[in-house]
Structure 1
Amino acid sequence: MSTQELAGKVALVTGAGSGLGRSIAERLARGGAAVACCDLSEDSARETSELITSAGGRSVALAFDVTDEAATDAAVDVAADRLGGLDAVVANAGIAGEGAARGLELASWERIIAVHLTGTFLTTRAALRHLVERPGGSIVMQASAAGLVGLPNTPAYSAAKSGIIGLARQVARDYAHLGIRINAIAPGTVLTPLVQQAYDERFGADVEAGLEARAASIPLGMGRPDDIAAAAAFLVSDEARWITGTVMPVDGGLSQLRP
């Protein structure tokens, strides 16, 4: 892919304040896209946006909760208005989701489903109103290897990510005739603040041993945020113009080559 393969495009990334979202936002900007950096934390969204503008890119920062229907609708409209339309969305916002099924409280289940699955739906629905106005629109939904295989201690998270995969395939079918592409990425374990939080909760003082064991279980070892960002940039780009309804595992072989 060229260094300006996204020139002229406007993209919106949720959960852009840190981790995978920040890496994706920066990668899209390096490709030439103007990027709306969205996050629950206004400070974090602004930090990512300033990283982009300081490097010569165009960006705005927006703070909202993806589970809030009105706030999500309004923020997507503001992003499109301030950046001159909308061509691509990466629905990446998420939270940690630990807890075995037997002891998982209903409130935790509902919050994890709300942020990951309902938040992805609300972001997608708001974006579609703008994507139908321009040719070649693209939505990338952040799923997970946990939506493809049974990973330990993540019932709500796995259910939400499986739901995102189904949502991506269904919406892709409905909007293909308008030239809008919808795909999902299924990342494996990448050491981000969210993953660190999950492993801290799971392993406590033994967290380093837990991370080493996970890395050893992945055929290609632990991934980096840039690995996921590169996949998102490709799916957003015109080089993926004949790809829709797919789930792209970017997991070092975790979901395909597990012993």
Structure 2
Amino acid sequence: MSVFDLAGRKALVTGGAQGLGAGMAEALANAGASVMIGDVAEETGKATAEAIGKDGATTGFVKLDVTDDAAWEVAITATVAELGGLDILVNNAGIEISALVVDIDANDVRRMCEVNIVGPMLGMKHGLRAMRPDGPAGKGGAIINVSSVAATIPFPGIAGYSATKSAVDRMTRVAAQESGKLGYGVRVNCLYPGLVATEMGLGLASDMAKLGLWPSAEAAVGDVIGLTPLGRLGEVADMADAVVFLASDAARFVTGIGLPVDGGMGM
């Protein structure tokens, strides 16, 4: 059996309705896991779960606002009940609102903090409670938080987003320490994706032009590629395969890290 085989494991992916989250959910399913998609986009999320399930994987959808403590309790309970447990939690849901520092809107920053910091913090809270020995799943497992290359480089126009994604790294490492010391049996790691041509990634490039930082979105993308030693943008599969690795036994002695999947951009 391959160390990347996730047969028999149960996963919850937040922000899994589209983009990176949908790709991560599909990759986990392809590796053998049963997958629950958690998202605020109910119609899209259900369609994604159904599409992934057409190849025989067990899938489901639960409506989840990651900023809501009670919604997390419902989502975890539904995942354990419908899938028969919880071994993998991917905290992928996030938002990005671009702005120059001189034009920062406090409400935009607060919103990013709610989704990008409070969201995965609550996810770890409820995920650890479910996976630890006295929890309803009780078999340990893996939590993967999605940070960003923006946490490792000073990229203009995204000060608020960069700050929130830097926070994801710090709280990942603290949770890994606590899980290890308290015997929860849960590995906690985070991922630093590079720029991917998803709706969110292309929107970021467009914002850079609107802010006057680049003459066009295409120029912004071109400079990102120029800063990337591997010479291309990231692909959804690059990030999804890294999630499978961190969730699998191939990473059985890996916890408390931030894994760059950015083509070398953040080195």
Q: Is the 8 A contact 1:184 1:246 kept in 2?
A: yes
Q: Is the 8 A contact 2:15 2:93 kept in 1?
A: yes
Specify the alignment match of 1:206 in structure 2: 216
Q: Is the 8 A contact 2:4 2:245 kept in 1?
A: no
Specify the alignment match of 2:187 in structure 1: 181
User: CA–CA distance in 2 between the matches of 1:60 and 1:144?
Assistant: 27
1:166 to 147, 170, 178: 170
Q: Is the 8 A contact 2:144 2:188 kept in 1?
A: yes
3-state SS, counterpart of residue 38 of structure 1? strand
User: CA–CA distance in 2 between the matches of 1:202 and 1:152?
Assistant: 8
Q: Is the 8 A contact 2:112 2:164 kept in 1?
A: yes
Specify the alignment match of 1:141 in structure 2: 145
1:151 to 144, 151, 155: 155
**Residue 29 (str. 1) matches residue 29 (str. 2):** yes
The answer to which of 201-210 and 69-78 deviates more is 201-210
TM-score computed with the length of structure 2 as normaliser: 0.92
2:248 to 228, 234, 237: 237
User: CA–CA distance in 2 between the matches of 1:228 and 1:178?
Assistant: 26
User: CA–CA distance in 1 between the matches of 2:29 and 2:43?
Assistant: 19
Specify the alignment match of 1:247 in structure 2: 258
Q: Structure 1 vs Structure 2: percent identity of aligned residues?
A: 35
User: CA–CA distance in 1 between the matches of 2:80 and 2:198?
Assistant: 29
The aligned runs of 1:113-124 (5 Å cut-off) are 113-124=113-124
Specify the alignment match of 1:39 in structure 2: 39
**Residue 190 (str. 1) matches residue 196 (str. 2):** yes
Map Cα deviations across residues 4-25 of structure 1 (whole Å, 9 max, x no partner): 7000000000010111101000
The aligned runs of 1:40-79 (5 Å cut-off) are 40-79=40-79
Count of aligned positions: 256
3-state SS, counterpart of residue 216 of structure 2? helix
Specify the alignment match of 2:226 in structure 1: 216
Letter of the 1:225 counterpart: V
Shift of 1:199: 1.8
User: CA–CA distance in 2 between the matches of 1:149 and 1:207?
Assistant: 19
User: CA–CA distance in 1 between the matches of 2:103 and 2:76?
Assistant: 37
Q: Is the 8 A contact 1:88 1:236 kept in 2?
A: yes
**Contiguous gaps of at least 5 residues in structure 1:** none
Q: Is the 8 A contact 1:3 1:31 kept in 2?
A: no
User: CA–CA distance in 2 between the matches of 1:210 and 1:162?
Assistant: 22
Letter of the 1:161 counterpart: K
Letter of the 1:152 counterpart: P
Specify the alignment match of 2:107 in structure 1: 107
Shift of 1:97: 2.6
Shift of 1:190: 1.1
Shift of 1:104: 0.8
User: CA–CA distance in 2 between the matches of 1:4 and 1:182?
Assistant: 17
3-state SS, counterpart of residue 6 of structure 2? coil
Map Cα deviations across residues 164-205 of structure 1 (whole Å, 9 max, x no partner): 000000000000132210000011111111111222222248
RMSD: 1.5
**Contiguous gaps of at least 5 residues in structure 2:** none
Q: Is the 8 A contact 1:4 1:30 kept in 2?
A: no
